[in-house]
Amino acid sequence: MMRTTAPSHLRALAPALALLALGACQREQRSFQETPPGATAFPAVQTTDIQAGPKTVDPAVNTYQENRVAVSQGQTWYTSFNCAGCHAPGGGGGMGVPLNDAEWIYGSDPENVFATIVEGRPNGMPSFRGRLSNTQIWQLVAYVRSMSGLTPKDTWSPRSDHMQEGRPNRTAQPQRQLP
């Protein structure tokens, strides 16, 4: 007599799968039409931890930080728009400061990095306001932060198909120093 479906031990797997679901969906999410965080308003940038009242942060900011695809796309932009020309592939630095270390002159929170790219900074960082879409900038933010290990481990880029770059120094702790 042919046995039909397997019994209860497979059903027991369901809760475990449900737990995995949360992690997997976040990391692998791909979408074609999206409204990136801060699309309608410039995100609030703080240069100090101390504030009055509750902290206001766009919660959507974090979805990019934990999304492997966004980091990968950011890596593509990093090459396409020649960030590597000053900061070196892999973020080792050259004409521009290293991006894969623990020193963040203007802060390492996503909003800070976003502001850096949009506004430019003294001593050579160009302003990309109006030149890149918000989505592209947030993807770059995610990639830049991943270079120093500030995003979850499963979002980091493995090796690329180009000539080998220096290995990222992913020992950075989140730090903010003011000029």
Partner 1 sequence: MASTEAHLPAGLLSPAERELLHQTWSDRPGFWGWVTAVDHKSVAKRYIFTAFLFFILGGLEAAAIRAQLARPENHLLDPDQYNQIFTMHGTTMMFLFGVPVQLAMAIYLVPLMVGTRNISFPRLNALGYWTYLIGGLFLYSGFILNTGPDAGWFSYVPLAGPQFSAGKRVDVWAQTVTFTEIAALIAAVELIVTILKQRAPGMSLNRIPVYVWAVLVTSFVVLFAMPSVALASMMLAMDRLVGSHFFNPAEGGDPLLWQHLYWFFGHPEVYIMFIPAAGFVSDIIPVFARRKMFGHTALVLSLVATGFVSFGLWVHHMFTTGLPQLGQSFFTGASLMIAIPSGVQVFCWIATLWAGRPRFATPLLFVIGFIVLFVCGGITGVMVASVPFDQQAHDTYFIVAHLHYVQVGAFVFPLFAAIYFWFPKMTGRLLSERLGKWNFWLFFIGVNVTFFPQHFLGLMGMTRRVYTYLPETGWGPLNLLSSVGAAMIGVSVLVFIANVFLSLREGVPAGDDPWGAHTLEWATASPPPPFNFAHLPVVGGLYPNWERGADAPVVTGLGNSHREVLATTVMDAVPDAIQTHPGPSVAPLLVALAIGVTFITGVFTPWGFVVGPVLLFPTMLMWLWPRRKPAAERAWCEERV
Partner 2 sequence: MTRPPPRPGRAPALLALAALASACAHSDMSAVDPAGPQAGRIAGMTWYLTIVGTVVFIITIGFLLYALWRGNRRVESYAGEGAERHIRRWVIGATAVTTAILLVTLVYDFATGRALARFAEPDALTIRVTGHQWWWQAQYIDPDPSKRFETANEIHVPVGRRVRIEVRAADVIHSFWVPNLHGKVDLIPGYTNTTYFRADRAGIYHGRCAEFCGYQHARMDFLVIADPPARFAGWYRDQLRSSVPPADSVRQVGEQVFMGTRCAMCHAIRGTEAGSRVGPDLTHLASRGTIASATLPNTRGHLAGWVLDPQSQKPGVYMPPNQLKPDELHALLSYLQSLK
Q: Residues in the site for partner 2, rule: CB under 8 A?
A: 32-33, 76, 80-81, 130-133, 135-136, 161
Q: How far is CA 111 from the centre of its chain?
A: 11
Report which of 175, 167, 150, 160 is spatially closest to residue 73, judged by C-alpha positions.
160
Helices (H), 31-153: 60-65, 68-80, 83-87, 110-119, 134-147
CA distance 128 to 31: 24
Note whether 179 binds partner 1 by CB under 8 A.
Answer: no
Tokens describing residue 56: 């206001």
Note whether 71 binds partner 1 by CB under 8 A.
Answer: yes
**Binder to partner 1 among 53, 54, 59, 158 (CB under 8 A)?**
158
Tokens 């992913």 identify what position?
Answer: 170
CB of 143 to partner 1, least distance (A): 11
Contact track, partner 1, 8-47, x by CB under 8 A: ---------x--xx--xx-xxxx-x---------------
CB of 133 to partner 2, least distance (A): 4
Tell me how far CA of residue 175 lies from CA of 33, 51, 97, 147, in angstroms. 34, 17, 16, 15
Q: Which is nearer to partner 1, 63 or 157 (CB)?
A: 157
Contact footprint for partner 1 (CB under 8 A): 1-4, 7, 17, 20-21, 24-25, 27-30, 32, 68-69, 71-73, 75, 154, 157-164
